[in-house]
Amino acid sequence: MAAESDIVIEARDLHVSFTVQKQGIKSIKSFLLSMGFQSPFEKKPVLKGVNLKVKKGECLAVMGRNGCGKSTLLRAVAGIMTPTSGSLEVKGRVAPLMTLGVGFEMELTGRENIELVGTLMGFTKDQLQDSINNIILFSELTDAEIDMQMKRYSSGMISRLAFSIAAANTPDVLIVDEALAVGDLGFREKCAERIKQIKSEGTTIMYVSHHLDEIKNICTRAIFMEEGVVTAEGSVDEICEYYTHHVKPTSTELHG
Amino acid sequence: MSVFKDPSRFTRLVVVLGIKNLKLKYKNSIFGFLWGMFNPIIYLVIFSFVFGNMFSEIDRYPLYVLSGLLLWTLFTTTSVQIIESITRNTGVIKSVSIPNIALPLGGLYSSIVSFLLMLIPFSVMMAIFGMRIGWEILLFVPLVVLFSIFTFGVSLILTAFNVYFRDVQIAWASFMPAIFYATPIAYTPEIIPEKFRIIIQLNPIHHYVSFLRDLIYYNRMPDAFSWLVVVAISVVSMWAGMTIFNKLKGGFISQF
């Protein structure tokens, strides 16, 4: 057993809910009539008591069907969503790689966007100055391209730049949400290499993907989620097996 | 990132977001911020031609109008810039862990920079129309600070509700001309019949405008009561804005 100090992410009975409007104009009317005392919102629970421990340097695969709460779990760990109850402790700087290309302004140049998105991701001015050359180098964009408005970029170029910014610094915790299905084959391999490199520097990783090969290649442990709770936990091979059995049957129903 | 734990990083985030807004606004335009001047000039021309004879008893009528238009321009550009700051950045809210308040603050930053630039043509015009400068002018700075706080508070309320009901943004665009004519910008409060004058008194913008007129039109020190009123309105507006925004921000992510 690892010492307690090695635990980087720990969730105990973690609940996270969405706030959604009650449907229809009636609810707004009753909200206004009650002078704001009757809430027009209701809570829709997404995570319903997740227990989880991730050790330093581990790479945890989070698997499960669409809508089971994988992304919400990652958002909670990244501090983007706040728990409604239970506890969640995360040690160190978290870099979320949720959706590539978020925060880009297409009217601005690639270089301007590095500053914008880098700052959104929490880089200081010095950190940005230090890493801007590496970012441009890793993205494989030419000098002319980097000073071009991003609306002239192809979608592959946008993804390459986005990944390069996100992966420029080695964070304590890296969160990857199906973000790597981008770019051409060469760049995807390069991304996988960079993630392995980040891992080898001691970063803890949480990884969501539906590509079993990718998971087997990168991850060291896996969990399986269903309807907002963790239902299975184990080695990558075990959970991949479990996943295949659990997810396949419904997809064959469609044909049958 | 936390506002209080990391103030320098937070400040830089706000500045970078503000500069982005400015770049986006003027990127593909030739005359840039001068267009912001155009709208007040049109108003000025209309009022001088249409109402100029009607209000011939008002000394230096164009200056009288300009002093009102100055604050009105700050109010509209700021609220319009901020109201969409959350709904235009859904990806950022969903994928990056930043304090949500940074987005409206970035809007405030860019509006204030635009306002400072517009002060140049405004002062030229006001000088042409007979503005006299005395020591009172030094109070212009605290007045603009107080008025920005008031405007920011109002904008925060609009922004937070706009996330849940986009009607807010549409309604605000329709309401603004009504608020404009309900503010004594092109006319003096005295022409309003006594029994309706309470409406003018209840209009917060009026108090800032008449404070500014003391400084640059009547060339006198505003009395203690005027000070009390503008400070009180700013404090209440900011308090209400922060309270409502903080109460509603937890649900923003559920809306995207």
Lowest mean pLDDT among A146-160, A241-255, B87-101: A241-255
Q: Give per-residue pLDDT as tens, A180-220.
A: 666 677 888 888 888 889 999 999 999 998 888 888 888 99
- Structure tokens given for A35: 């002078």
- Homologous superfamily in CATH for domain A57-255: P-loop containing nucleotide triphosphate hydrolases (3.40.50.300)
Query: Under an 8 Å CB criterion, which residues of A touch B?
Result: 18-21, 28, 41, 44, 75, 78-82, 94, 96, 98-99, 101-103, 105, 107-108, 112, 115-116, 119-122, 124-125
Query: Under an 8 Å CB criterion, which residues of B touch A?
Result: 1, 8-9, 12-13, 16-17, 20, 23-24, 27-28, 89, 91-98, 164-165, 250-251, 253-254
> Within chain A, how many helices (H) and strands (E) appear?
9, 9
Collect the ranges in chain B with pLDDT lower than 70: 1-4
List of chain B residues whose C-beta atoms are within 8 Å of the C-beta of residue A98 = 94-96
Q: What is the pLDDT of residue B85?
A: 96
ipTM: 0.87
List of chain A residues whose C-beta atoms are within 8 Å of the C-beta of residue B96 = 80, 96, 98, 102-103, 120-121
A vs B, Cβ pairs < 8 A, gives 78
Percent of chain A at pLDDT exceeding 70 = 85
More confident residue, A19 or B177: B177
More confident residue, A39 or A3: A39
* Cβ contact, residue pair B97, A116, below 8 Å: no
Q: How far is B19 from chain A (nearest CA, A)?
A: 9
At residue A231, does pLDDT exceed 80? yes
Q: What is the pLDDT of residue A173?
A: 93
Q: Which CA distances in Å does B189 have to A113, B116, B194, B206, B209? A: 49, 28, 10, 9, 11
Q: How far apart are CA A10 and CA A91, in angstroms?
A: 9
Helix (H) or strand (E) holding A173: strand A173-177
Q: How far apart are CA A72 and CA A96, in angstroms?
A: 12
Q: Which CA distances in Å does B37 have to B24, B120, B122? A: 18, 10, 8
pLDDT band (50, 70, 90) for residue A30: low
List of chain A residues whose C-beta atoms are within 8 Å of the C-beta of residue B164 = 21
Q: Give per-residue pLDDT as tens, A54-84.
A: 999 999 999 988 889 999 999 999 999 989 9
At residue A226, does pLDDT exceed 70? yes
Give the long-range contacts of residues A238-246, CB within 8 A, separation 24 or more.
A239/A61, A239/A63, A240/A63, A240/A212, A240/A215, A240/A216, A243/A63, A243/A64, A243/A212, A244/A212, A246/A65
Q: Fill in the amino acid letter for A161.
A: L
User: Domain-by-domain residue ranges, chain A?
Assistant: 57-255
Q: Give per-residue pLDDT as tens, A75-121.
A: 999 999 989 999 999 998 888 888 878 899 999 999 999 999 999 98
Q: How far apart are CA A100 and CA A139, in angstroms?
A: 13
List of chain A residues whose C-beta atoms are within 8 Å of the C-beta of residue B165 = 28
Q: Give per-residue pLDDT as tens, B115-146.
A: 998 898 889 889 999 889 889 999 999 999 99
